[in-house]
């Protein structure tokens, strides 16, 4: 049971969320570097601002790609950002489901022991 404590669950979920945020941030930085390399924006700060707004599909509209040849990149980034955020949600749901499934398995085993249907090799739990 000690492996399923609140602190361990919170640590696991925090680790997963931080890892997913790092992945998203890395992708946003790569998009911003691409915009800057292609000359879509005059500096990296503007590229990063546009990339964050586009990746999260907020799209304020105060900064836009003026070059007609690269304008579709913003839409592609928005689609990829949406898909990646959905993917992250799926991962979080999977982790939470796995934690609760393990809780249920432990509770079911404890209930079987309490009812005397199963003997544990550990002498602390013998009936």
CA pair distance 76, 73, nearest whole angstrom: 5
State the residue range of the domain holding 120: 2-125
Domain count, the chain: 1
Q: How far apart are CA 101 and CA 116, in angstroms?
A: 23
- The alpha carbon of 58 is separated from its chain's Cα centroid by a whole number of angstroms, namely 19
The pTM for the full model equals: 0.76
Q: What is the pLDDT of residues 17-43, one digit of tens each?
A: 999 999 999 999 999 999 999 999 999
Q: What is the pLDDT of residues 84-123, one digit of tens each?
A: 999 999 999 999 998 888 878 888 888 887 787 655 555 5
């Amino acid at each position: 049971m000690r492996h399923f404590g609140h602190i361990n669950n919170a640590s696991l979920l925090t680790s997963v969320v931080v890892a997913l945020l790092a992945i998203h941030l890395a992708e946003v930085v790569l998009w911003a570097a691409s915009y800057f390399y292609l000359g879509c924006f005059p500096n990296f700060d503007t590229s990063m601002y546009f990339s964050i707004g586009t990746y999260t599909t907020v799209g304020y509209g105060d900064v836009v790609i003026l070059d007609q040849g690269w304008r579709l990149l913003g839409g592609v980034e928005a689609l990829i950002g949406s898909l990646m955020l959905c993917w992250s949600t799926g991962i979080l749901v999977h982790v939470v489901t796995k934690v609760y499934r393990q809780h249920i398995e432990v509770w079911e085993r404890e209930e079987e022991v309490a009812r005397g249907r199963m003997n544990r090799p550990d002498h602390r739990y013998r009936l």
